[in-house]
A and B are shown apart, each in its own frame.
Chain A
């Protein structure tokens, strides 16, 4: 097991990077959606942006 992990360390790095990136992406997606809903709430029906 340990031998397998040390041989393929670069793939483990890759998987970690992917997990982090997915986390950042969905976090940003959530924040974006929240901001859009607040924008709608404040501006009413007219959209300035």
Chain B
């Protein structure tokens, strides 16, 4: 129960701090953010956009882990957990893509420009889509669970490649890219302590929120299955 209150307090703090704290040239008070060249006021999106992208990856990792668990145990509950993790994952993936695109319109002048990060998130979106397409095409529950577990593991294995090839193939516009001179890597250098603190609080709050939603999601599906079995 306490962590729910904690979540509420953290997320409220992040929404207040992330949106309302002013960005100034030379921060002197603790609630002022530094001005990052090339980003300006747009930098505030980091408190909301990055956590969604982070959750997309977490959800992907969880579906891979539970897929692996399912293959070992053949327990259908694990498949349900992977399913709910992916359901939330695709929601956060779309959120990350859309918030990123809106931000890109103001920062780069176009909604979409095939930046490495954008390409990666697009590939993730494709993987999520393919995963759900695969699931919907199979009738039998065990078969569906096995095949989708296998697919999520195969897909997860290919993801590290994007990290290595994207920067070589495309020029990076995204803050934090390897060849970004003006504003990156912001996580390490350009954010001052309070900005970093709020950023990590935001990550924690979003992660708690994700696990809570995931918990509710898979419990409801398990209950539904139990009821169908009993009556």
A and B touch in the complex (CB under 8 A): yes
A interface, CB within 8 angstroms of B: 10-11, 13-14, 17-18, 21-22, 25, 28-29, 31-32, 35, 38-39, 42, 49
With A29-B4, A32-B212 as contacts: A14 and B16 at CB distance below 8 Å: yes
Does B29 have its Cβ within 8 Å of any Cβ on chain A? no
Contact B223 A21 (CB under 8 A): no
With A28-B213, A32-B216, A39-B219 as contacts: A14 and B226 at CB distance below 8 Å: no
Q: Mark B24-41, 1 if CB is under 8 A from A, else 0.
A: 000000000000000000
Contact A39 B223 (CB under 8 A): yes
Contact A13 B19 (CB under 8 A): yes
Q: Is chain B's binding surface mostly helix, strand, loop or mixed? A: helix
B7, B20, B212, B216: which contacts A14 (Cβ < 8 A)?
B20
**Closest Cβ neighbor of B41 among chain A residues:** A10
Contact B11 A21 (CB under 8 A): yes
Which residues on the A side are within 8 Å of B4 (C-beta)? 29
